[in-house]
Structures are given as C-alpha cells and as structure tokens.
Chains A and B, each alone.
Chain A
Amino acid sequence: MQKGSSGQRELSKRWENIRRNWYKFSRNSLSIIGLVVVCIIVFVAIFAPYISPHPESAGKFINFYEASQCPSLVHLCGTDVFGRDVLTRIFFGYRFSLMMGIVVLSLVVPVGVVLGLIAGYYRDSWLDTVIMRVTDIFVAVPPLILALAVCSVLTPGIFHAMMAVSLMWWPWYTRMVYGVASSLKGEFFVQAAEVTGASRTHILFREILPNCIAPIFTKMSLDMGWVILIGASLSFVGLGAQPPTADLGSMVADGSKYLPDQWWIAVFPAFAIMLIVLAFNLLGDGIRDMLGAEGE
C-alpha cells in the first residue's frame, strides 16, 4: 500500500520534470521546427513502403516511358533517367540515412563514453595515457580520408561505410567525456562517495555519468546530422550504398551528370540531405537548451 503511493509520487515528480524540460525546450521556436521536421522524416522513413507514391521505384525498376519527367502532379519531384520517382526514392533514401546515423551512434557512443569515463577518472595514470593517446591517433587522421581508406580496402557497401564512419567517430565522445569526467573527479560529491566506500562502477556510472548526459545527448543529436552527411559523402563517391539502392548521396552523384537540364534529379535529393541535417542541428540546439542551464 505504502509502496504504491510512494511510487505514484515518484511518477508525478517525473511528469513534472518532463513538463519543465519541455518548457525549456520550447522557448526557442526553431527547436520546435527542428523537432517537427525530424519527426516527419522519421515517420516518412518508417512508413516509406506504404506512403510513397510509387513504391516500386525504390528498387530495380525501369520505365523508359516515364523517364526524365519534370516535377508534375503525378511525380512531385520528377523522375530520373530510369523512370523512377524521385520523391519515393528520397523517402527510401531517408531510411538508409537514418539507419546509418542510428547504427553508427549505437556503436560509437557506448564505446567512446566508457573509454572517456575510465580515462577521465583514472586521470594521470597509465590507463589515461594509453586510452587518450590511442584516441589522439584516431583524431589525427583526417576523418573522411580514414573512411575512404577503409572503404577502398574493403568491398564498397553500406555496411562497410558504417564501420568506417564509426571508426573515425568514437574518439570525439571519448574526448568530451574525458573532459567532463576528469573535472568531476575532484568534486565533493564524488569524494563523498569514495570515502563512504562506494565501488568504482558505482562512482563511474552512477555519480559521474549522469553529469555527462547533457553534453552527450546534445552531441548525439547534432551528430545525427553530421553522420548522415558523411554517409552521403561516401555514397557520393561510390563507396556507400550501391545501385540500385535508393540512397541520397548516390542520387546526388548520379543526378549531377544531368545538370542543369534535368536539375530535379540531383537538386531534390540534395535538398533532402540539407533538410535532415538542418533539422537535427536545430533539434540539437533545443536539447542543449533543455539539458543545459539548470535552475535559476
């Protein structure tokens, strides 16, 4: 009986926290625009097979009767040289973009954050030196070149592109968390936990990590946009998704051959890339406002 009511109080406090966070987020209308656009894109990507006007255009499809048609009511963004509807391919292209972002971040964030926590907490010990010097090595290589090198060695494909991007992305999380963790190490609440006898795991994951959440989440939402852009760049040079997969980067690459006459084949996919990157940036700003400055 008592546990129920205390659980209820906990829930209502959590709800109040959510409402307070929403208030902070919604102060800037641009962040709301970012959130709305991201939601639309996610929705579109998930339900692409059902809501796209010409779902067959996504895969192997050739229809020379309708090839290279300008944007019209039937084909809102026109068709490409194979007769495939560009808008549909954009919808399906978003699937790959989002997948790239999600997969890369799911790999990179846990690894980067844990390494950063350990290096920061054991600052000035051999552990710190080893981890951070390895991080430095990866950071020193220009990112796109690293990705290109990896992709060229392995067979081009979306999976390898994701691996390549992951490999060059994790050090940034390590560095960021390292900075926060090593400064928090001297804070009194961490010392209080240490002298009470808390275990290392508790201190790393229960005391220090929650204080890193704000910059981590902010960076993650901003990163989504950048990962997508890097992935599109790799596809643009042919190292990402292979034809006939609908992928925004390769669509821009293919379509660029037909500029400026059949401009819609390249311009709409490029605009789609810009839209998703911008939306995630705005969303990231809003998240930073929400999680950032605390209290009055």
Chain B
Amino acid sequence: MITLVNIILNIGQLKKYFVTRQGIVKAVDGISFFVEEGETFGLVGESGSGKSTVAYTVVGMYRPTEGKIIYRREDISRESKNRSHTMKKEIQIVFQDPGTSLNPTRSIKQILEMPLKVHNISKNHKDRIAKIKELLEMVQLPVDYMYKYPSMIGGGEKQMVAIARALTTNPSLVLLDEPTSALDVSVQAKIINMLIQFQKKFKLSYLFITHDLSLMRNVASRVAIMYLGKICEIASSSDFFKNPLHPYTQMLLSSIPVISDEEEELKPKKIMSTGEIPSPVDVPSGCSFHLRCPKKMDICFCEDPIMVEVSEGHTVRCHLYTK
C-alpha cells in the first residue's frame, strides 16, 4: 500500500564549498535527504560536520555551490536575496546562540515587530502590538517583556523570543540549529515541549540540528548523521538508536553521557572514541572517516563509499555494507 506523503523539503546532492586562504573548505560535500511535511528531521554531527552550513544554505544565507534545494515544488537553490518575498515567510531559522541572534540594541518589541512590518502582516501599529502580545503569550513570556532589551533577560527567555520571531510570519518549515545547546536542562525541556506543541498546532515541519543524541532520540522521527560534510547514515529514530550501522554512529553513541542503567545498556560498548576530528580543509582521502575508524579495510583508504539502503528507510554510506 502506498501512502502519499508530502515532501516539504528535498535536498539533492547539495554542495557548499568555501574558498579560504588555507584552501577550499568542503563544508557540505554532496548530501541528499528529504523532509516530510509535519515531521521532525534530525541532523546530527560534531564540529566540522557541516550540519549548520546545511541549515544556513537552506534558509538562504549562503548560495549553494552545487546541488538542488526544492521546497514543495519550487526550486530555491539560491541565496535569499534572490528568492521571492513569500519564500522568506515560509522558511525560518532559529540560531544556536540567543546572545548573538538578537540585536542587543533593539527592544524585544522592535525585534518582533520587524517581520510584521517587512511582510505587512498587521495593518497598523495597534494590530502589531496586539500580535506581539499574542506571540509573547504563546511562548509563555510576560507581556511587559516587550520593552526589555535582550541583555536584561536570561538565555532561555532570549531563545523563546528567537522562536517567537521565527513563528511571526507563520512559516511552514522551521530550521532549528542547536536551539537548546547553550541552555540548562530544565529550560531545554520547557522549550522542546513548547516546540512540539507548536508543531502540532501550526502543522510545522522541523529540521532539527543538534549534537545531543539523547535529545535527538526524543525529538526526531528520522535522523541523519554527518561527518566532514557527508551523510554517513539516515534512519528512522528507533532504527538509528537500536541498530546503528555506521562505525561513526556507533562511536558517537558510545561517548554520550547518560543518566540511567537502561541507557547504558543501549550504548554500543565496543567502540571507544579516539583521535581528533580532522579539519574540513584537509579531508582524508577515500572514506573521510577511515583515520579514526576501528573497522577500516584496505578499500577505505582509496575509495569513498556510496549510500546504500540496508533496510526500509535505513541507508548507510560504508564499505562494510556495500556488498
């Protein structure tokens, strides 16, 4: 039986290279995935993996070097200044560090008012104020935070303002780049639960980026793991955590701190993390993970593996499985 599912975002062989003095940085080097409407797609990786670059390219901060970004049926593989005005309403982003994503010299009211003015969402000043109050109530912040400046409120509250700002234009796709990494666990819980509620209420699709695998387990329905600009494995959340196939996935899972014995059971025991993460300027030849991989074979030194589907919805890019 075929269930028709709407795909809201389709990424095809996306590449983003940066030219720097040290050489060409292949931040994103040929990745493909899709996000279904209404789901939360997780993107996991460490520094240098390129996950943030993916988000920035999708939202339009960077121009793709190669590849396609398709939103619903429209090809938007361009910088945001070359995209249509309506597209800028549809895709929004929440950055990692709330300290730098809010202008410290603007009050909360001015920050939330900007998207309203730009897209003419409310007709006059009174309507705008009403809408801002509505937004603040939605993220459970007191209404008179409007007149405060970002430096006067805490990190969690700043992030809630950033989320409110993203939702001002009624987007359909929200990119969340490590939205809670800089926050405490109790604030994180509040924000994540809020995000899940909003997803149901406003029928949002999320591209959720984080390095915290325990968080990812509870948030994403499908997960992709990236290393040095390429995707190593994509799977549904339960497959990813119960049956990780790629050695890097196993290494990452074995390193995370957990708080209960059941979780310890779930972690792969055999692989201890070793070595440093190479710089994206100096990507190793063949499979980029071979220098740290405990299961490397001769072929890994010279040939880069391709993605293969091992079971339904579970794809891996590793020579161990390309038979």
Contact = CB atoms under 8 A, between A and B. Distances in A.
Are any A and B Cβ atoms less than 8 Å apart in their complex? yes
Chain B interface, DSSP helix/strand/loop, else mixed? helix
Contacts of B88: 195-197
Given A6-B129, A188-B97, A194 B147 contact: no
A56 interface: no
A258 to B, nearest CB: 53
Contacts of B148: 13
Interface stretch (A64-72, A102-110, A148-156, A202-210): A202-210
A211 B56 CA distance: 24
Interface stretch (B28-36, B114-122, B192-200, B270-278): B114-122
A207 B118 CA distance: 14
A76 to B, nearest CB: 47
A6 B56 CA distance: 37
Contact of A210 (B81, B105, B169): B105
A187 interface: yes
Nearest to B168: A196
A195 B80 contact: yes
A195 B85 CA distance: 10
A194 B100 contact: no
B14 interface: no
A192 B165 contact: yes
Nearest to B152: A295
Contacts of A206: 106, 110, 114
A197 B165 contact: no
A193 B117 CA distance: 12
A19 interface: no
A3 B128 CA distance: 12
B56 to A, nearest CB: 8
Nearest to A188: B101
Nearest to A211: B105
B103 A211 contact: yes
B323 to A, nearest CB: 44
A195 B103 CA distance: 15
B95 interface: yes
Contacts of B115: 196
Given A3-B126, A13-B147, A196 B103 contact: no
A199 B118 CA distance: 8
Interface of B: 56, 59-61, 80-81, 85, 88-89, 91-93, 95, 97, 100-106, 110, 114-115, 118-119, 126, 129, 144, 146-148, 151-152, 165, 169
Interface of A: 3, 6, 9-10, 13, 187-199, 202, 206-207, 210-211, 213, 294-295
